[in-house]
């Protein structure tokens, strides 16, 4: 089978099967060999590796992954793509494709079934409308992830690696950085896809921490505080946490905790580091 990264090959396969792009699945297929090479390099995939690919599409990146990795498990939600994948990946004996929704399948059980205990590297050209839920479900699944290398909207990649005080910094930045170290490996223009997306894209690698960089007694509570802090971004932390329906922490309680941390009661969430949010969660958790 010819390499699908060639635009003419992609178009020929789509015409052969009469495939129509499904907007509900956010389908944009890569047609640039240079970018595919960058993804494989950024993911640091070698012949011993077990790779999980989310949304293989017609198998463009899957072909590259199969040549670099020991074994590839590709999870595709669109059943109309299954016969195409059977065709385009017929030369690769180390690829298993299953028709599932990555957000509904039991990831831990799935990986246990196929990985034989090996750590998992994830590589994907993710549908932009559900990028964040997929990434968070991967990290929260308990799967032995080593890294996640994904194509995402450029704006989302910027948010993932942003630090305190910047306009891109928010709940996503903190959630990703709690689990992993983000590194933007490449920026990718719209003309590298068919059909062309309306936005620029980026390849980002998230290298999983062996253990979280901060300790907190209740990570779930910390993330509730983080979400509430950024839900009303322009409000002070004490107003944000007081107004949050799931928290409703008295303003004076928040003010005391912030003062104990050496911070102004008028501080906004965008100024706090992950370590400061962990400390704030522990202080507020002790008086709940």
Superfamily the domain 7-208 falls into: Vaccinia Virus protein VP39 (3.40.50.150)
Query: Residue 248: left if φ>0, alpha if ψ -120 to 50, beta else—which one?
Result: left
At residue 286, the pLDDT reads: 80
CATH classification of 219-285, choosing from 3.40.50.300, 1.10.8.100, 2.40.30.10, 3.40.50.170? 1.10.8.100
Q: Which residues contact 113 (CB under 8 A, 6 or more apart)?
A: none
- The dihedrals phi and psi of 71, each to the nearest 5 degrees, come to -150, 145
Domain boundaries, the chain: 7-208, 219-285
Lowest mean pLDDT segment, chosen from 64-73, 112-121, 181-190, 255-264: 112-121
Its pTM surpasses 0.85: yes
pLDDT tens, position by position, 250-283 = 999 999 999 999 999 999 999 999 999 999 999 9
């Amino acid at each position: 089978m010819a390499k699908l990264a060639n635009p003419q090959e992609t178009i020929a396969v789509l015409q052969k099967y009469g495939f129509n792009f499904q907007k509900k699945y956010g389908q944009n297929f890569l047609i640039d060999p240079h970018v595919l090479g960058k993804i494989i390099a950024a993911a640091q995939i070698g012949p011993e590796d077990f790779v999980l690919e989310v949304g293989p599409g017609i198998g463009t990146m899957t072909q590259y992954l199969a040549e670099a990795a020991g074994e590839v498990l590709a999870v595709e939600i669109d059943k109309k793509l299954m016969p195409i994948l059977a065709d385009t990946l017929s030369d690769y004996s180390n690829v298993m494709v299953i028709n599932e929704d990555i957000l509904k399948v039991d990831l831990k059980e799935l990986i246990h079934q196929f990985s034989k205990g090996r750590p998992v590297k994830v590589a994907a050209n993710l549908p932009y409308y559900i990028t964040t839920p997929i990434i968070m479900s991967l990290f929260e699944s308990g799967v032995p992830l080593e890294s996640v290398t994904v194509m995402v909207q450029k704006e989302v990649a910027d948010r993932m690696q942003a630090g305190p005080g910047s306009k891109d910094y928010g709940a996503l930045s903190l959630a990703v950085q709690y689990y992993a170290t983000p590194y933007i490996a490449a920026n990718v223009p719209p003309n590298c896809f068919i059909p062309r997306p309306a936005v620029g894209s980026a390849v980002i690698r998230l290298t999983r921490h062996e253990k979280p960089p901060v300790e907190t007694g209740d990570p779930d509570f910390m993330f509730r505080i983080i979400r509430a802090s950024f839900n009303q971004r322009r409000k002070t932390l004490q107003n944000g946490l007081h107004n949050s329906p799931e928290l409703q922490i008295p303003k004076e309680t928040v003010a005391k905790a912030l003062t104990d941390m050496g911070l102004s009661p008028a501080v906004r969430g965008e100024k706090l580091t992950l370590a400061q949010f962990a400390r704030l969660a522990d202080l507020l958790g002790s008086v709940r």
